[in-house]
Amino acid sequence: MDAAGSENPVVLKLVIGNKNYSSWSLRAWLYLVQSGLAFEEIRLRLFTETWPTDIARYSPAGRVPVLLDGNITVWDSLAIMEYVRETYPGSVGWPRDLAAYAYARAVAAEMHSGFLAVREELPQNIRICQKRSRTDFSSAAQQQILRIETLWQDCYQRFGGRGYLASFRSRM
């Protein structure tokens, strides 16, 4: 039985890039895994000559991730999470407490659309571990790192330990 309570597994398709380099792809993939939904992973090779043609078959925005649910196409990791949460009962998601929910949504929106200096100066590469000092980064990135730390500390202090922003399952 899947997370939606059906005896027949849900056949979703998730179009992603490399999970090592694409945090957007990794987010959507982790969300579907944590929600216990059956899905087919379609991995496109990033940074290739065929990328524009390959992604155009799936995404009107020309970016990953993209969720295909029958004739419904949802792009953008946050939109995918919202769609799945609203469409498939049993999927993980936002806190039930209204104050925690409002705060979590605001934090997610800020994280999703902001921190451009951090994104530029600290691109995702899960396979590499580099020891770096804050002084290695621009003042903008340093301020954004401080803001991220403040956000997470505030979340923890206001709402407690594990699971204060979402109801994730320990499956991995």
Read off the pLDDT of residues 30-60 as tens digits, 9 standing for 90 and up.
999 999 999 999 999 999 999 999 999 999 8
Q: Which residues contact 42 (CB under 8 A, 6 or more apart)?
A: 13, 14, 15, 16, 58
Rounded CA separation 90/88 (Å): 6
- CATH 3.10.450.50 holds for 12-87: no
Pull the structure tokens for residue 99. Answer: 């104050």
Whether the bond into 65 is cis, omega within 30 of 0: yes
Q: What is the mean pLDDT of residues 127-134?
A: 86
| Total-model pTM | 0.78
* Domain range summary for the chain, segments of one domain joined by +: 12-87, 98-159
Count CA atoms within 13 Å of residue 6 on its CB side: 11
